[in-house]
Homo-oligomer: A and B are copies of this chain.
Amino acid sequence: MDMIFIELQKHSDTPLYLQIYNQIKQDIIDGKFPVGMKLPSKRRLEEFLNVSQTTIEMAYDQLTAEGFIAAEPRKGYFVQAIEELAYVQPVKSEMPASVPTATPVQYDFSPGSIDTENFPFTAWRKYARDIMDTAHAHLLLLGDPHGDIELRQEIRRYLYHSRGVDCTPDQIIVGSGTEQLLPLIIRILGEQACYAIEDPGYLMTRHVFSENSRQMIPVAVDEDGLDVKALQRSNATIAYVTPSHQFPTGTVLTAARRTALLNWAATNPEFFIIEDDYDSEFRYRGRPIPSLQSMDKGENVIYLSTFTKSLMPSMRIAYMVLPPLLLDAYRQAFIPYSSSVPRIDQHILARFMADGQFSRHLNRMRKIYRRKMHVLTTLLRSYEPAISFSGDEAGMHVLLHVHTEATEKELIREALQSGIKVRGLETYRVTPAPSSPSFLIGFGGLSEEEINIAVPKLLEAWNIKKAAAPD
């Protein structure tokens, strides 16, 4: 079949994608579209119906998700036999999937995205090919529950050279993400532990603590990082911090506060610091900030990091370095669990690191992100003083402050109407704070060209003009 007939009501309350979804689904149920029929490609349907790519994608995704159609790699979408569909949901006006925004998002300043254009696929494939071989058939079986020694050795070497982290490979536990490692830490620290969390801070961490019914005390973050005096006054026994590039404010914990924080932890053998060094790889100005773990000699600091920013978020490899004291407790507590990270992936990564590919990749990406950061901050600067920004020393996002009467919510809505997605700082706060609207501007996933288009578009949406050039 060349094209399918779909009648769209462009001014209906029902979103376009839902209209497309409903009509195709009904035609399949009615048998008008026979099993095995090839649907038009997304692009052709998009042109034919004169709708956006996103609209077609959402309709096809939903049909796929519900089993009405299926994608065959490099061939297209085909109608499936619906007798196989055990559970045909009644057509509802509301979709279970994400509800589309009025305007499709064209530019997403997501702080969690990375540059995917420059990933060294060739090298990665090479190591994958080497590992996926009968010579390594033993890697099909379960490995070390803490992560295979080859990978832990490479992580140790990397941590020592790049972050000054002092540890043996024994102290390293590899896991599939901070979400997976943090509950393990929580369990060995016991039910009585009380967690100081940064406010504003990382939402997922807060979720993990609350899901595990742990007591939390929000401690304010200012321009010097976590307010350690407030921590000292609190009942917290564990401090969860992101000292190298605080999430989400981007501040770097000052040297004085680092010392104060370590001194706090040293006052009581039950006190620990969880140092989440989530994006320390990319630092653009100033001298490197040593990890707390390296200052502490590793007795009171649980160091936590991930390959999410440095390689890819979807690989799901993170790790923690346990102080010797906690290592024994850990060993006793989690004996029956296997490592959550696929062994083949561990060995691909270990070789990638051992051959120096990882440090080469980091050096290359540091340059790329530095350039992006430069493009972003140069643009932003031209709008000062109507706006200001901070947190640009490191990482893959800055915090943008808008000096206006409008609220964060209003500005987020205005941005969305221009097809731009930004995240407001308020979402990350436990305690509401009176401050001008602030936004996380993540640039990792955008190209320089996209930054060059999206930033002026965003500020235009907010009706913020460039400062007049000085005479």
Chain A interface (Cβ within 8 Å of chain B)? 61, 64-67, 70-73, 84-87, 89, 96, 112-114, 116-117, 119, 121, 124-125, 128-129, 132-134, 137-143, 149-150, 152-153, 156-157, 160, 166-171, 176-177, 179-180, 187, 203-204, 207, 211, 297-298, 311-317, 324, 336-345, 351, 354-355, 445
Contacts and interface: CB of A to CB of B under 8 A. Distances in A.
Nearest to A169: B65
Contact of A297 (B86, B204, B341): B86
A132 B124 contact: yes
Contact of A116 (B128, B141, B152, B324): B141
Given A116-B140, A133-B121, A342 B345 contact: yes
Contacts of A338: 177, 179, 313, 316
Contacts of A66: 168-170
B168 A140 contact: no
25 contacts: A61-B149, A65-B149, A65-B170, A66-B170, A70-B157, A73-B354, A86-B167, A87-B168, A89-B168, A114-B140, A116-B140, A116-B141, A119-B137, A119-B140, A121-B137, A124-B132, A139-B314, A140-B312, A141-B445, A143-B314, A203-B336, A204-B336, A314-B343, A316-B338, A316-B339
Contacts of A160: 84, 86
Contact of A87 (B61, B89, B167): B167
A153 to B, nearest CB: 6
Contacts of A141: 113-114, 116, 312-314, 445
A314 B336 contact: no
Nearest to A68: B168
Contacts of A180: 176, 180, 340
A156 B344 contact: no
Contact of A324 (B87, B152, B354): B87
Contact of A96 (B113, B119, B153, B170): B170
Nearest to A72: B354
Nearest to A139: B314
Given A117-B134, A128-B132, A314-B344, 8 more contacts: A71-B153, A87-B168, A87-B171, A129-B129, A140-B313, A141-B312, A313-B338, A316-B342
Contacts of A355: 73
A341 B354 contact: no
Nearest to A113: B141
A226 to B, nearest CB: 22
B153 A70 contact: yes
Contacts of A89: 168
A116 B137 contact: yes
